[in-house]
Amino acid sequence: MNNALLVVLIASGVAYGTPLLYGALGELLAERSGVLNLGVEGMMLVGAVMAFWTVQKVTGSSALALVLGVLVAAFSGAVMAAIHAFLVVTLRASQIVSGLALTIFAGAVGLSSYLGSDLNLADKPAAHTFHAIFPASMQGWPIVGPIVFGQNPLVYASWVCVIAVGYYLARTRPGLSVRAVGESPGAADAMGIDVVKYRYVHTIVGGAFAGVAGSTFTLALTPQWVNGITGGAGWIAIALVIFAFWRAELCLVGAYFFGALQALAPELQARNISLGPTELWTNSTPYVATVVVLVLVSWRGAARRLGAPASLGVPYVREEG
């Protein structure tokens, strides 16, 4: 039963979808505060390389190394996001230009690549990796075994994050304030909410999430450092936020759907099922969908109707007159 195609697809969808989920949650936090962060891909790559480097360096228990690896990845993402926040919130630079610049700067021919070769990380297996933590017997349970109990701790942590982010945005006072800042910074400012502080904090925390997303590649999914290892996952994460109508729980659904698509081609191949050039369409679907959704939302008004924060991408200047 656990070999049924659907079960396998969902189980690997969860695994492959996890970096997308972390990335999307981070982007969601930033966008809800009104900051579009197109630097996710770059932050993921830097997080990936720094996490990998950390676990190679740390001697001691595997758990310690892995936790440190994730923390270092989060920190690296946060530092990059802080640059973005400074440029777009304080200097009011174009959010699109700044985000793209960060991705190019940190991307497969930039910082992450340089770090990878300078720290001599390529072509080595990770010294420590995340594994499934539940006993094999539980992983063997029908259906829930592989899907729920066969995952690594980063997956479980992401579930906690989904609930936390969702609850925070929808049910708490600071969450209400973030949404106000993203919707109508003028109204928020008039009520004494520090727009700049909120935008900084959420952009930076969002960057940390992107860093963690990167670490899931090098510490769990494909535990090695390869240049450009994220393969555009950062872009998919940004599109996911739109697919998910800026809601955390829908980010999870979307992330796992795209994750499952990635797993579909190899799985079908393994089963000798041919659906034409399967790999072509399964692997391209997330990107095509991303392009389509980005085109759709750039239509005037469309984004607004889908639930985009009204002031997304708009720098805030206190009205002086």
153-171 and 195-216 helices cross at what angle (nearest 10)? 160
Q: Please tell me the count of residues contacting another protein according to CB under 8 A.
A: 24
Q: What is the number of other CB atoms lying within 10 angstroms of the CB of residue 167?
A: 12
Q: What is the number of other CB atoms lying within 10 angstroms of the CB of residue 44?
A: 40
Query: Under the criterion CB under 8 A, does residue 84 sit at the interface with another protein?
Result: no
Query: Under the criterion CB under 8 A, does residue 300 sit at the interface with another protein?
Result: no
C-beta of 15 vs 195, nearer to another protein: 195
Cα–Cα distances (Å) from 86 to 37, 55, 200, 204, in that order, read: 12, 30, 8, 10
C-beta of 173 vs 300, nearer to another protein: 173
Query: Under the criterion CB under 8 A, does residue 192 sit at the interface with another protein?
Result: yes
Q: Of 100, 69, 99, 79, give the one whose Cα is nearest residue 217.
A: 69
What is the per-residue binding string for another protein in 258-297, x denoting contact by CB under 8 A?
----------------------------------------
C-beta of 136 vs 170, nearer to another protein: 170
Query: Under the criterion CB under 8 A, does residue 186 sit at the interface with another protein?
Result: yes
Site residues for another protein, window 86-105 (CB under 8 A)? none
CA–CA distance, 177 with 195 (Å, rounded to integer): 9
Query: Under the criterion CB under 8 A, does residue 301 sit at the interface with another protein?
Result: no
> Which of 9, 29, 115, 188: binder of another protein (CB under 8 A)?
188
For residue 220, what are the contacts with CB-CB under 8 A and spacing of at least 6? 15, 18, 129, 130, 152, 154
Give the residues lining the site for another protein (CB under 8 A). Answer: 170-177, 179-180, 183-184, 186-193, 310, 318, 320-321
